[in-house]
Structure 1
């Protein structure tokens, strides 16, 4: 049997969402003048709130504004390592670290499944000792990272689809796997339902209510 412990990232293992923080930190370090576009990115965020801009499109717009339409791979790697170091120092729940260590000690393969872009989430996962990362992909061309999502945004039902594809790619049948899944948000309900053990971590109110109705465990790593 394969034993998998699958973790969402933002607000499950981290104190706060990481994408905007990564964008701002990278723009400040690499191209400070791009911070002038923050108000424009905020307007795009309002468009998302009004449902006239999709979640994937919002990510692409924000990336284009603050990182540029094409970012050299070397710059992205440097930025990801710098951000991961900062986050590891002061942005990770102690409870998340303890649970990752406990799952590893119990023989679980530790997997991150996040809607964040893999090009920076992988650096965070590496510092925390994850074995694998399932994340939103980005188009890569000619040694650059483009402001364009490759494939699906790893969010909601798409996250489950991508986890299932990852299992198949690694030769693991669901019937031969025991899966634990940790998340803070109701958007991950499909994966929480699919897992053998679903754990609502630091849940926002809708997920806390859902967990009570469906019998999922609830943990508070923020304490």
Structure 2
């Protein structure tokens, strides 16, 4: 039997979302002038709120504005390691650290499944001792990371599809696996239902209500 503990990242493991913070902190170091484009990023955010663009397109626009149309992989790696260090120092919920340690001790394979981009989420996951990362990919060519998503944005139903694809790639049969899934957000309902044990962590109100109806455990990892 394969024992898997699958964790969402933003606001489940971390106190707050990481994507915008990563963009702003990287722009501040690598291209400070790009911070002047933050109002344009805010306009894109408004377009998303009005459902004029999708979540994936918003991410691409924000990356293009704050990191550029493309960024050399060594620069991205340097930024990812720098950012992961700060998250590890002060951005990880104490309860998340305890649960990760408990799952590792119990023999679970630790998997991070996040809508964040893998090129920086992997650096955070490595510091926390995860065994694998399932995340949103980016287009890479000639040593450059482009402001364009490769494949699906790892969010909502797409996250479950990507988890299932990863299982297939690893040769892990679902019927021979026992899965725990942790998330703070109702968008992860498909994966929470699919798991053997679903845990609503630091849940926002819609997920809390859903968890109460469906009998999922509710945990507070912030306190």
TM class by smaller structure: over 0.9
Partner in structure 2 of residue 125 of structure 1: 125
Partner in structure 2 of residue 212 of structure 1: 212
SS of structure 1 residue aligned to 2:212: helix
Partner in structure 1 of residue 16 of structure 2: 16
Please give the per-residue CA displacement for 1:111-131, whole angstroms capped at 9, x wherever unaligned.
000000000000000000000
With normalisation by structure 1, the TM-score equals 1.00
SS of structure 1 residue aligned to 2:25: helix
Separation in 2, partners of 1:67, 1:191? 31
SS of structure 2 residue aligned to 1:146: strand
Partner in structure 2 of residue 222 of structure 1: 222
Partner in structure 1 of residue 106 of structure 2: 106
Separation in 2, partners of 1:70, 1:193? 37
Please give the per-residue CA displacement for 1:173-208, whole angstroms capped at 9, x wherever unaligned.
000000000000000000000000000000000000
Separation in 1, partners of 2:87, 2:195? 28
- 1:53 Cα offset (Å): 1.1
SS of structure 1 residue aligned to 2:110: strand
Separation in 2, partners of 1:73, 1:222? 34
Q: Which runs of 5+ in 1 are unaligned?
A: none
Partner in structure 1 of residue 88 of structure 2: 88
SS of structure 2 residue aligned to 1:163: helix
After the TM superposition, list the runs of 4 or more consecutive aligned residues in structure 1 that deviate by more than 4 angstroms.
none
- 1:10 Cα offset (Å): 0.2
Q: Which runs of 5+ in 2 are unaligned?
A: none
Please give the per-residue CA displacement for 1:113-162, whole angstroms capped at 9, x wherever unaligned.
00000000000000000000000000001100000000000000000000
With normalisation by structure 2, the TM-score equals 1.00
1:1-223 paired onto structure 2 within 5 Å: 1-223=1-223
Separation in 2, partners of 1:12, 1:153? 18
SS of structure 1 residue aligned to 2:11: coil
CA RMSD of aligned residues (A): 0.3
